[in-house]
Structure 1
Amino acid sequence: MRDDALEPAEHNDRNLVVVDVGGGTGFTTLGIVERVDAKNVTILDQSPHQLAKAKEKEALKECMIVEGDAEDLPFETDYADRYVSAGSIEYWPDPQRGIKEAYRVIKKGGKACLIGPVYPTFWLSRFFADMWMLFPKEEEYIEWFEKAGFKDVQIKRIGPQWYRGVRRHGLIMGCSVTGVKPASGDSPLQLGPKVEDVEKPVNPFVFLVRFLIGASAGVYYVLVPIYMWLKDQVVPKGQPI
């Protein structure tokens, strides 16, 4: 699925300057450096523990490793040829701000590629999605890109081959969204200052309930692909599952 999701980013030149935002342990970056020289690739993440794992990967030794915030990127305007973010947007407090930053840091004619989950339609999957993390709708991805100023916004559905296009459960079936920056400079979108209340005390009871539901959601989204894989083995090819 990684190569399929990265294909729209068009990493067609080894000299491209690429930023992998929310790169974590470097799993997506490994796919990028197959086509772009590692010395031209930057991995950014908020977690030093995740980045420490990326540093251990031999193929990523020449990559620049940066600790930072997806919604406030430490790069100059018009810095990179390509922006990639995979499996990160679902944790952003303000996705529109993060996509605005993606626009700012890439050069004119550059391309941003954002890979993430899609909001499920099955009621139980929706319940766990709402309690767990952000599952955007496809139209929300497109709207965020267009508001930031991107042109030629495209969305590509991705998922395991055995999933047969079923979209009810989200997460497993995601999307890869791309947009092209039409002009140099910052995004035309104007946003107010970033506001995130991290000082408000957390209700211990609410925290415990959300933790338990979140843990249950994690288990649920492990069981769903096993269930769908089994259905794929049983239901004849060509028939919906």
Structure 2
Amino acid sequence: MGSSLPYGAQHLALTPNGLGFNGSNLHGRNLPKIKLVGRNCNLRSKKLAVPRCSVSIPRPASQPRFIQHKKEAFWFYRFISIAYDSVLNPGHYTEAMRDDALEAADLNSRDAIVVDVGGGTGFTTSGIVKHVDAKNVTILDQSPHQLAKVKEKEHLKECKIIEGDAEDLPFETDYADRYVSAGSIEYWPDPQRGIKEAYRVLKKGGKACIIGPVYPTFWLSRFFADIWMLFPKEEEYIEWFQKAGFEDVQIKRIGPKWYRGVRRFGLIIGCSVTAVKPTSGDSPLQLGPKVEDIEKPVNPFQILIRFLVGTTASIYYLLVPVYMWLKNQIVPKGRPI
């Protein structure tokens, strides 16, 4: 499972799997951003202008993975919420990564109105309230078990807490100055609809920031990713934002420092995607019915099987950071791992 990739943020390349780095220092703050200009998915960076990109996915996003269905995700977080902050975050989403990712959101006013969609236990919210008054922040999540953890955190007591759906937000149009969503898009059955909602609730000039996974290139990691939940490619993030009507789409790559820039196994938290709403009102994108109707009765046995298979696949991604941490301890500094 070793990687032969060199590291260093200067190695930007176009590969058969899409735009990527031959290697990058994920932890440093000198990471380049990928900036999208215009409507034709033209990628530009300081080092390389890349022609029109194409989106290639293993299955349509309309065919959710096992824990990408809302009901399975509900039960998944019923159990994982018990140790979310103490077990999952230390291996996949550290405070340094959170603060680095939120830097791109331009949280530059204490009075800004912010919605944290899929806020979970409030881990990302804790980074937001460093820059914005807690009374101006609303945390939304579909999991009451995750939100129960938020209520235990004293510094988040003034935040508004709402149980809700990221694909059908309970906010009026042109409501917020900033939209933040971290570690949530991977559970959306219809990510395009969720990003369209982000556009709708933002004010003109408001900024959306979605922090989420990146798709692996290593075959075994792809196998488990495709079973578990949605790991978008960078091209997919770009296309979803642009179709919703956003402008100035940028991607900032992040990851645990002990990975030394390795991205081939995929990252549960691997990038921060930001974009600006250019005009007031709803998104110009028209969509059909929802991919998943949570009110529709389902077979409990089917939910159980999907939940068990998806949860089993997730174990692989609990082990990957342990493997990378061990390699970081063994392989001499200055050498790729």
TM-score of Structure 1 vs Structure 2, range by shorter chain: over 0.9
Aligned to 1:194: 290
- Larger CA deviation: 165-174 vs 127-136: 165-174
Per the alignment, in what secondary structure is the counterpart of residue 225 of structure 1?
helix
Aligned to 1:127: 223
Q: For residues 18 and 206 of structure 1, what CA distance do their matches in structure 2 show?
A: 34
Q: For residues 97 and 211 of structure 1, what CA distance do their matches in structure 2 show?
A: 24
Q: For residues 129 and 25 of structure 1, what CA distance do their matches in structure 2 show?
A: 23
Aligned to 1:226: 322
Per-residue CA distance 1:108-153 (angstroms, 9 max, x = gap): 1110000011111111111110111111111100110011011000
1:235 lines up with 2:235 in the alignment: no
- Larger CA deviation: 169-178 vs 129-138: 169-178
1:150 lines up with 2:150 in the alignment: no
Aligned to 1:77: 173
CA contact (8 A) 2:98 2:127 kept: yes
May I ask how many residue pairs the two structures share in their alignment? 240
1:108 lines up with 2:204 in the alignment: yes
**Which structure is higher in RCO with an 8 Å CA cutoff and minimum separation 6?**
2
Aligned to 2:105: 9
The alignment yields a C-alpha RMSD, in angstroms, of: 1.6
Describe the shift of the 1:118–1:212 C-alpha distance in structure 2 as closer, same or farther (beyond 3 A).
same
1:185 counterpart letter in structure 2: G
CA contact (8 A) 1:160 1:172 kept: no
Match of 2:138 among 7, 25, 42: 42
Pairwise CA distance, 1:90: 0.5
1:214 counterpart letter in structure 2: G
CA contact (8 A) 1:167 1:173 kept: no
Residue identity (%):
81
Q: Please, what TM-score do these two structures have when normalized by structure 1?
A: 0.94
Pairwise CA distance, 1:214: 2.4
Q: For residues 6 and 87 of structure 1, what CA distance do their matches in structure 2 show?
A: 13
Q: For residues 149 and 66 of structure 1, what CA distance do their matches in structure 2 show?
A: 26
Q: For residues 216 and 105 of structure 1, what CA distance do their matches in structure 2 show?
A: 36
Aligned to 2:128: 32
Q: For residues 140 and 298 of structure 2, what CA distance do their matches in structure 1 show?
A: 29
- Write out aligned runs for 1:171-190 (5 A): 171-172=267-268, 174-190=270-286
CA contact (8 A) 1:103 1:187 kept: yes
CA contact (8 A) 1:108 1:182 kept: yes
Unaligned 5+ segments in structure 1 are none
2:289 counterpart letter in structure 1: P
Describe the shift of the 1:129–1:183 C-alpha distance in structure 2 as closer, same or farther (beyond 3 A).
same
1:62 counterpart letter in structure 2: E
